[in-house]
A and B are shown apart, each in its own frame.
Chain A
Amino acid sequence: MSSSSLPTEPLGLAPSGTVHVSHDHHEIGFLKKYVFSTDHKMIGIQFLFTGLVTLLIGGLLAMGIRWQLAFPWTEMPVLGKLLFPETGGVATPEGYTMLFTMHGTVMVFFVIIPLLTGAFGNFLIPLQIGAPDMAFPRLNMLGYWWMWPGIILMFLAFGTEGGGPAAGWTAYPPLSTIESAAPGSLNGQTLWLLALTFSGVSSMMGAVNYVTTIVKMRAPGMTIMRMPLSIWGLLIAALLQLFALPVLTAASFMQIFDRVFDAGFFNAPDTLVNNMSPEVDLGTAAGGHPLLWQHLFWFYSHPAVYIMVLPAMGFVSDILATHARKPIFGYKPMVYSLAGIAGLGFIVWGHHMFMSGLNPKVSLVFMTATIMIALPSAVKVFNWLGTLWGARIQLTTPMLFAIGFVAMFIIGGLSGIWMASTPVDIYIHDTYIIVAHFHYVVFAGSVFAIFASIYHWFPKMFGRMMNDTLGKVHFFGTFVFTNGVFYMMHQLGLAGLMRRTADPYAYELYAHLQPLNQFISYCAFALLGWQVLFVFNLFHSMFFGKRVGRNPWRANSLEWSAPSPPGHGNFDHQLEVVRGAYEYGDPEAEEDHLPQAVRVS
């Protein structure tokens, strides 16, 4: 052991201005290096692979949904035997509700949030602000491991005796609180709530760490207005989690209390389920209100939508500027619009409740606030377009995905205006329009940004490049099939098809929509199949990709001045940040990029 401090020790709050430099690499055991690691980079990579595995599971669940909508009540190939063994692979109505409940839950809580904030938040924050690690490395490790009970409980819930949770990812009571209301409201729903709580606590540990690290551990000269936009996106998302998550955690416990102790927070008086008298099922006789859950749930889950997109916007901004060889257009408006989206994000939760029985006068306030959220979103789009103007665009794989993000975010942003407008929402609420809208933001938006980020930061993570040709083929197919799936859902919604229905063709009004649903399903199967290219590229490149130096993209931000991959303590030299992260193409400079920091030792 050398005399330098152990990087695996908690660093505490290093006063800004000191940069921990590690010159040597300790030999650490396999378990400590790859499993119980306190190194932010390894934790980031753990989150990345966990998130990709859960993404595959969430994707397979989506295929189950798509099969049922294309060919209702027929034998589901491959998945059917696994999910519906009792019926020979044919979906059951209650099984279908469990499918979309689990798809939504897995994707939101165990894919998008862990990938954006867990994987890239962990990997990028210390590297981009010039810190040796997170402020609380052990808390960081705990944050990752705290997610596992969540994942395990979630899958236990799905396989539980009597059926998995079946009340949708939004878990509206009384369907979710009264045991006799749904098959999955036996123990499945309780396990689901516990899983959510674990995942929430995991996110909370991450959020505390991210905010502390960004506030206290920036390298000398890294003023907040020199931070890369990735850091801004992650910081604001972490603040949203700090403020909103306690509400969801409290609400989950209230729902657990309702279910286990008949607390009755969410159950109205005189509710009668399955002709049971209130005396039989005590949970049904209470003085609560079902709308209370909706308020609490959306007070968290609307900001959560922004937790799922603000970091993505930050990553895309960094990737666009780097591969356009041009400064980001309007850095300050980009920061303010991130903050604006987050701020407005706290006062718009009521737009999920326009049809819920909420006082319709209050809806007008929520509508106005919601429509105004389009403003900072529009400002971001215009600045991304401004960044491309006069650029020297390098059409690399990360750049294609980043441009794809912008193209798709435009659609997701614009369709939101219909949903926000209360009278129009009367018709389109809970139809496939909303399904199209949020998949454009979360899949075609955030998942595209995740792909862009993987291709962009892979060389820093593993010291090797991913195959660019294969990456491009992956991009083209993904882009085409994504639009085939989600664009056409707008049309289903306009025809009035409501979501969460196991067999739309039972209605005369929807019978003619089956061919369109089949087209969507074929695109969805192709979309999932196409990802084989990505999985192959990822694993093949980890071992056989072309080796690279520190800065293969000739980028400016601090992570590119560290070795690829960076050792413990990240930087092998003292840094002083002297400029912002986007000085590309300066005519005065020797090269077309000016790294943010200069060496001081």
Chain B
Amino acid sequence: MSTLKTFLLRVAASLLFLAVPVLGVWTFVTAEANGWWFPLNVSSYGGEIDYLFDLILWMVAITFVLTEGALVWLVWRFSRPDSSRAVFSHGSHKLEMIWTAVPALLLVFIAFSQMEAWSKVKIAMPDGTRPDEPYTVEKPLAEVYASQFDWRFRYPDAEGNFEGADVVESAYDFYVPVNTKVLVRLRSRDVLHSFFIPQFRLKQDAVPGMEIPVWFKAEETGSYELICAELCGWGHYKMAGKIHVLPEDEYEAWLANARTALYSNGSED
């Protein structure tokens, strides 16, 4: 190959590999402005999840830029035409030790830094020991019942029973109180579904035959989309719901209203 062609190839290859870290970082920097970023968090633990994402993001970003940058420099520097031979090296014990030990420590740090948040969201369920915990695994606010392709929300009667005439059932719309640790019992009638509320940073599969406790505490009133995140059949894409986070008194009023409506309907039987 001619010298010019070799040179142009070196330039092109180096620029191509350089584009990876440059455009890669640029995409993430501009992501929020483009709407390619997390929707606003409104749950009590969402902030911790976002923090952990950012923590890993920083570590990953630094590693990404350093390794891709090193790759670009190596490709540029050592593809230079050179009649002498390459450095005759089979490796370096010292370097191996360093680049095994350092990532090992960082990875162990990442692993341990995750445990508290996970335990808070998925292991330690509200047990009524604190004032914002009126609902527990034994006495959930509601039962979320998934089936192809809709969500149903069943509120127990005053005694906490899910059977009987006083059970309020709502389809699609799920009403919950704000600033309260809401605990629901997640069930599925038929196949796997997944209870996903992006703004709450919450996801949990619903499994037929299992009753899985799920909790969240919404800190902003408003309506949020509930999305099925586990393939559940042809209608999976439209298995949506809506969560309405209401001020406490409005929530109580809604529930009382729904119960009254139940009686006026029930009187016809």
Contact = CB atoms under 8 A, between A and B. Distances in A.
Partners in one complex: yes
Contacts of B234: 92-94, 97, 166, 182-183
Nearest to B93: A330
A357 B118 contact: no
Contact of A174 (B60, B63, B192, B202): B192
A501 interface: yes
A423 B34 CA distance: 25
3 shortest A-B CB distances, which residue pairs?
A268-B209, A390-B87, A491-B36
Interface in B21-77: 23-24, 27, 31, 34-39, 48-49, 52-53, 56, 59-60, 63-64, 67-68, 70-71, 74-75
A250 interface: no
Query: Which residue among B10, B84, B225, B237 has the maximum number of chain A CB atoms within 10 Å of its CB?
Result: B237
Interface string B197-240: 01001111101111010000000000001010111111111101
A414 B63 contact: yes
B85 A363 contact: no
B103 interface: yes
B229 A371 contact: no
A420 B185 CA distance: 26
B64 A410 contact: yes
Contacts of A361: 123
Interface in A535-585: 582, 584-585
Nearest to A472: B9
A372 B198 contact: no
Interface stretch (B109-117, B156-164, B247-255, B257-265): B109-117
Counting contact residues on chain A (CB < 8 A from B), the size range is: 35 or more
A327 B17 contact: no
A496 B235 contact: no
B203 A495 contact: no
A393 B225 contact: no
A395 B107 CA distance: 34
Q: Name the residue among B63, B147, B205, B227 with the largest chain A CB count within 10 angstroms.
A: B205
Contacts of A480: 16
B196 interface: yes
21 contacts: A181-B148, A182-B233, A270-B208, A325-B86, A329-B92, A331-B90, A356-B192, A364-B115, A371-B110, A371-B111, A388-B71, A393-B74, A393-B78, A395-B6, A400-B13, A422-B122, A424-B53, A429-B203, A476-B16, A487-B23, A506-B240
Contacts of B36: 491-492, 494-495, 513, 516
A560 B189 CA distance: 62
B104 interface: yes
A271 interface: yes
Interface string A237-256: 00000000000000000000
A356 B207 contact: yes
A379 interface: yes
Contact of B208 (A174, A378, A507): A174
A389 interface: yes
Given A182-B233, A374-B107, A388-B75, A360 B122 contact: yes
A427 interface: yes
A488 interface: yes
B237 A501 contact: yes
A508 B23 CA distance: 28
Interface residues of B, number: 95
Contacts of B4: none
A223 interface: no
B89 interface: yes
Contacts of B70: 385
B208 A503 contact: no
B56 to A, nearest CB: 6
Given A268-B207, A290-B208, A495-B37, A382 B99 contact: yes
Contacts of B209: 268-271, 289-290
A386 interface: yes
Contacts of A273: 148, 190-191
A475 to B, nearest CB: 9
A502 B233 CA distance: 11
Interface string A347-384: 00000000111001101100110011011001101110
Nearest to B60: A414
A386 B82 contact: no
Nearest to B88: A585
Contact of B227 (A167, A330, A498): A498
A530 interface: no
A467 interface: no
A594 to B, nearest CB: 11
B138 interface: no
Nearest to B49: A423
A443 B207 CA distance: 32
Interface in A504-532: 504, 506-509, 512-513, 516
A506 B237 contact: yes
A418 B37 contact: no
Contacts of B12: 476
Given A175-B233, A390-B87, A430 B71 contact: no
Contact of B91 (A174, A267, A333, A494): A333
Contacts of B67: 381, 385, 410
A406 B70 CA distance: 12
Given A97-B231, A427-B201, A502-B237, 7 more contacts: A290-B208, A360-B119, A385-B67, A386-B91, A403-B71, A422-B118, A422-B122
Nearest to B226: A507
Nearest to A495: B36
With a 10 A CB-CB cut-off, give which of A331, A424, A490 has the most chain B CB atoms.
A424
B65 to A, nearest CB: 10
Contacts of B147: 272
Interface string A265-304: 0011111111000000000000001110000000000000
Contacts of B225: 507-509
Contacts of B122: 360, 363, 422, 426
Most buried by B among A166, A330, A492, A592: A330
B192 A175 contact: yes
